[in-house]
Amino acid sequence: MTENMVDVVTNSLGEEEPTWRQRAVERSTRAAKLRAEQRVQRFLDAAQAVITDKGTTDFTVQEVVERSSQSLRSFYQHFDGKHELLLALFEDALRRTTVQIAAAAGAKTDPVDALRTAVELLFELSRPDPGAQRPLFSEFAPRLMLSHPAEVSRAHAPLLDLLTALTAAASADGQLRPGLQPRRIAALTMETVMFTAQTSGAEPVAVDGGAARPVSAGEVWDFIAHGITKTD
């Protein structure tokens, strides 16, 4: 083999690892990632089971570790502590809620009907319900909003994206007042709906000339719709 041929072969090979080695490393990495995801899910499932049994987020990391049949060392390899575990559960719950709302809204052909469906369902899912036992929303979320607002914002991002898309569709269809900014309207809508649901969705509110009763999903939509939809 001449010197030129050696140079050609050397340049062709470069500094890349052999393909078989790359495949072996990728396979090993995929397997390690899968095992880590399975361990994390076992901790999440265990924590959710403990919350369901106790009806509160007042539990210890040790209870979750024992319920998951894993080690404390493994827990802290994946979570900084109880707060991060609860945040993961909260984000998962919000994502499931978003998927549920998207499916319901997607069944509507009219953009405003889709937005109304999303608003009313979000209200119903956000209301305190002693029978449903949703301590992640009734206990953890209010504390999180005060102590870690940035984390709350990130957790709500998928829901905000959905409401933004629904608002933009209604706007593009010419059914909203001109000049509205869909994402800002979506953010105001989300915060109004969830706050009202959590503070007035279960407790009676005084009504002029009638008996006090809880705020309804229809009332919330009526309030929002008159602020953003066109009036003839």
Question: Where residue 106 falls among pLDDT bands split at 50, 70, 90?
Answer: very high
4 assigned to some structural domain: no
Residue in this structure with the two tokens 């066109």, named with its chain if needed? 230
Do 138 and 109 share a structural domain? yes
227 assigned to some structural domain: yes
Number of domains in the chain: 2
Do 40 and 75 share a structural domain? yes
98 assigned to some structural domain: yes
The pLDDT of residue 103:
97
**Cβ atoms of 64 and 75 closer than 8 Å:** yes
CA gap 41, 35 in Å, rounded: 10
Do 49 and 118 share a structural domain? no
Q: Is 132 a residue whose pLDDT tops 70?
A: no
38 assigned to some structural domain: yes
Do 159 and 136 share a structural domain? yes
User: In 3D, which of 184, 9, 18, 193 has the Cα closest to residue 118?
Assistant: 193
Which positions ≥6 away from 231 have C-beta within 8 Å?
none
Domain boundary among 79, 109, 129: 79
In total, the chain counts a number of residues equal to 232
**Cβ atoms of 205 and 215 closer than 8 Å:** yes
Which positions ≥6 away from 95 have C-beta within 8 Å?
158
Do 67 and 49 share a structural domain? yes
**pTM value?**
0.75
Q: What is the pLDDT of residues 148-199, one digit of tens each?
A: 888 888 989 999 999 999 999 999 999 998 889 999 999 999 999 988 888 7
Domain boundary among 56, 79, 102: 79
**Cβ atoms of 201 and 127 closer than 8 Å:** yes
Q: What is the pLDDT of residues 222-232, one digit of tens each?
A: 999 888 776 65
The pLDDT of residue 139:
73
Regarding predicted confidence, which is higher, 188 or 5?
188
Residue 171: give its domain's CATH number.
Answer: 1.10.357.10
Which stretch of 117-126, 146-155, 207-216 has the lowest confidence by average pLDDT?
207-216
Domain residues for the domain of 51 are: 16-79
SS3 150: helix
Regarding predicted confidence, which is higher, 86 or 146?
86
CA gap 155, 148 in Å, rounded: 11
Domain boundary among 27, 55, 79: 79
6 assigned to some structural domain: no
Do 101 and 48 share a structural domain? no
Which stretch of 55-69, 119-133, 175-189, 197-211 has the lowest confidence by average pLDDT?
197-211
Do 44 and 91 share a structural domain? no
CA gap 75, 46 in Å, rounded: 12
Residue 56: give its domain's CATH number.
Answer: 1.10.10
5 assigned to some structural domain: no
Question: Where residue 213 falls among pLDDT bands split at 50, 70, 90?
Answer: confident
Q: CA-based angle 58:59:60, to the nearest 5?
A: 140
Do 91 and 61 share a structural domain? no
CA gap 120, 148 in Å, rounded: 27
Do 93 and 72 share a structural domain? no
Amino acid of residue 34:
L
**Cβ atoms of 158 and 100 closer than 8 Å:** no
Do 44 and 138 share a structural domain? no
Do 73 and 163 share a structural domain? no
CA 66 to chain centre: 27
Do 139 and 55 share a structural domain? no
Q: Is 8 a residue whose pLDDT tops 60?
A: no
- Mean pLDDT of all residues belonging to the chain: 84
179 assigned to some structural domain: yes
CA gap 122, 197 in Å, rounded: 9
